[in-house]
Amino acid sequence: MKIVITGASSGIGRALSENILKYKEKAKVVGVGRNSEALRELKSVYGERFEYVIADLTDMSDVYRVVNSVVDFLGTVDVLVNNAGFGVYKELLNHSDEDIYNLLKVNFIAPIILSRELVKYMNRGSVIVNVLTAGIYVLMRKLPIYGASKFGLHYVTNVMRHELKDKGIKVISVFPGIINTEFHKRAGINYIRGGASADSVAKAIIKAIERGGKEVYVPGYLRILKILGPKLIPFT
C-alpha cells in the first residue's frame, strides 16, 4: 500500500504515519510537513519505507512540488490523507489578511489541489481521506476562519465522493473533536482540558480505510452532532 499523509510531522499525521509503518509491513508512506527534524527522525526509524517532502502548503508552488515528489517516490497512490491544517484563536474581524489567506490555503485549497492532481495516479479501490473537524456542526466563535475553511472542505468532500464513485475511489470524512496535540498551542491558546489522543484518531482512520467506512467521528459519540449541530447555527 502506498500512502501520502500531509501534516505528517506532528499530531494526527505523525500518529497515523507511525501506526501504518509499525503495523502494515508492506506499506510505504510519503509524509509531507514543515518540521524537517521530525520527518528526518521518522526516516531514520523506518528507512526506505518512509520518504518525506518538506513543504509549506501556504505556497502553491510547494503544493505542486509535493505532487511531483509523490509521483517520483511512489509512481501510484493508494491512499491520500489530507490531514495538514491549522487554526488561529481570534475573533473573526481581528484576523489579518495573511491569517485568512493562509488558513484557506492550507485547510481548504491545498487538499483540493492535491486530490485533483494525485487522483490521476489512483486506481479503483484507492482512498482519499479528508480530516475535517466535528466543529463544523457548531458555531466555532473562537476559531471562525478555521471552522469556515473546514466547513468548505466538508462540502467539497461530499462533492468529491459523488464525482469519484464511478471510478471506484472512496472518500472518507474524518471528524475529530478536541484532540490532545500541539494544534491549540500553535493556534494561540496554551491549555485545553481533556481531548482524545492523536493515536485514537489514527487507529480510527486506518479502520475506516480497511473496512470501507465513509465517516469517522472521534470520539464516536460526536456523531450525534450531525443530527443536532446544524440546529445550533442560524443559517439566515
Which sequence positions are flagged as catalytic? 146
Identify the three-state secondary structure at position 53: strand
C-alpha span between 13 and 131 (Å, rounded): 10
The C-alpha R_g of the chain, in whole angstroms, comes to 17
Closest CA to 164 of 123, 216, 113, 207: 123
Instruction: Let me know if 71 is exposed, middle or buried by CB neighbors in 10 A (0-12, 13-18, 19+).
Output: middle
Identify the three-state secondary structure at position 82: strand
Which residue reads 526516516 in cell numbers? 43
- Joined together, the cell numbers standing for residue 153 give 472542505
C-alpha span between 138 and 140 (Å, rounded): 6
> Is the bond preceding 144 in cis, omega lying within 30 degrees of 0?
no
- φ/ψ (deg, to 5) at 178: -75, 120
- φ/ψ (deg, to 5) at 130: -110, 120
